[in-house]
Amino acid sequence: MPLDSTRTYRVAIIGAGPGGICAAVRLRQAGIEDFVVLEQAEGIGGTWSRNRYPGLACDVASHFYSFSFAPKPDWSRPFAGQAEILAYLEEVVAAFGIRPHVHLGTSVEAAHWDSETAHWRLTTGHGSTVTAETVVAGPGMFGELRYPDIEGMDRFSGASFHTGSWPAEHSLSGERVAIVGSAASAVQLLPEAANVARRVHLFQRSANRVLPKEDTPFTGEQLAHFRQSPASVAELRPPTTSSSSSTSSTSTSGRGAAPPTTASPSGRIVTQWPHSTAPVPRADRLRPTARRLRDPCALPRLTPRSTTTNSSRPGSEQLHHRE
């Protein structure tokens, strides 16, 4: 259905990434049908549609990186790749009847609150106006690509691109490749590039620690079990924030006394890893309480500089918040 500039929608959602899709499903489940999803790209999926670089996968276990209302028993592996995640999001959009609400290729350029009518007026890239009682903003955080400011870059005559705008037709096969950066995307791209390129150089400003990823594809037997038993899939989802302290326990003996583990690989790392590396007196005070701490890639950034038990070590609050 085309956008109607003459009427007032109850809700306008900006973005059809996981956040926008989730909001749309929840609106429908609440019986609200009068809404639009405005998406600037030509496809749904946000991050998982825009990014296509080799090696891109989720670093959060897939049974956890799924909507609670749409569990997927047949994830092929513990940490699914980009294509599988995008296919999942497309399935959710189809299954929950969201597609008719989505307007692709429609960027929101401005949002003005009209206090007289108590409505939002959104201006789209096409110059049209969308009026809505409520706006849900789901534009994500990583859409704007950042390029390093390297002198002479404009004179580089080879192919050069960002992981966030990977050209579909480009293969690194046989090439001499330079990767700038050492964080999550580079960590995923590096082994893929090394597999096919003639030579790979990685330029890093600061060292990054990488945790092991237990990512053996699920066996046919495991997949059959997940399909037959929804409870077994639910068990792979660690409790979310409010009850997450149940994934750890208060240890009185410090290092070595790891709390009970969750069933998922990332859950196991989250609960065991801090206890095996933290200074002994602090280990019993470490409690994973947020998604950030469930992300194995985030854990190294929370590592205390000192693992000794001297007085200069940071306290547990500092440990929790250090980025």
* Contacting positions for ligand FAD (CB under 6 A): 14-20, 38-41, 46-47, 51, 56, 58-60, 65, 107-108, 138-140, 142-143, 185
Name the minimum Å distance from CB 143 to ligand FAD: 5
Smallest distance, Å, CB 252 to ligand FAD? Answer: 33
Number of Cβ within a 10 Å radius of residue 92: 21
Question: Whose Cβ is closer to ligand FAD: residue 36's or residue 283's?
Answer: 36
Half-sphere exposure of 299 (CA within 13 A, CB side): 27
Contacts of 270 (CB under 8 A, 6+ apart): 238, 247, 262, 288, 293, 294, 296, 299
Give min distance, CB of 161 to ligand FAD, in A: 14
Structural contact between residues 9 and 34, judged by C-beta atoms closer than 8 angstroms: yes
Closest CA to 265 of 227, 313, 212, 223: 212
Least distance from C-beta 306 to ligand FAD, angstroms?
29
**Closest CA relative to residue 12, chosen from 136, 102, 114:** 136
Kindly tell me which of 58 and 193 has the beta carbon lying closer to ligand FAD.
58
CB 24 within 8 A of CB 11: no
Number of Cβ within a 10 Å radius of residue 266? 28
Which residue do the tokens 């001297």 mark? 310
In angstroms, give the least distance from the CB of 157 to ligand FAD.
Answer: 27
DSSP tally for the chain: helices H, then strands E: 10, 8
Task: Report whether 292 contacts 56 (CB < 8 A).
Answer: no
CB 178 within 8 A of CB 204: no
CB of 113 to ligand FAD, least distance (A): 16
Which residues are paired to 271 by β-bridges?
none
Residue closer to ligand FAD, measured from CB, 29 or 318: 29
Least Å distance, CB 12 to ligand FAD, is: 10
Radius of gyration of the chain (CA): 23
Q: Considering the complex, state which of residue 139 and residue 314 has its C-beta at the smaller distance from ligand FAD.
A: 139
- Beta carbon of residue 85, minimum distance to ligand FAD (angstroms, whole number): 9
Nearer Cβ to ligand FAD (104/223): 104
CB nearer to ligand FAD: pick between 139 and 300: 139
CA distances from residue 157 to 28, 160, 161 in whole angstroms, order as listed: 51, 8, 12
The string of DSSP letters for 157-171 reads -S----GGG--TT--
**Minimum CB–partner distance for residue 286 and ligand FAD (Å):** 21
Is 51 or 316 the residue whose CB approaches ligand FAD more closely? Answer: 51
What does the buried/exposed string (b/e) look like for 147-171 if buried means 16 or more CB atoms within 10 Å of the residue's CB? eeeeeeeeeeeeeeeebbebeeeee
Nearer to ligand FAD, 72 or 275 (CB): 72
**81 bridge partner residues:** 57
Nearer to ligand FAD, 46 or 274 (CB): 46
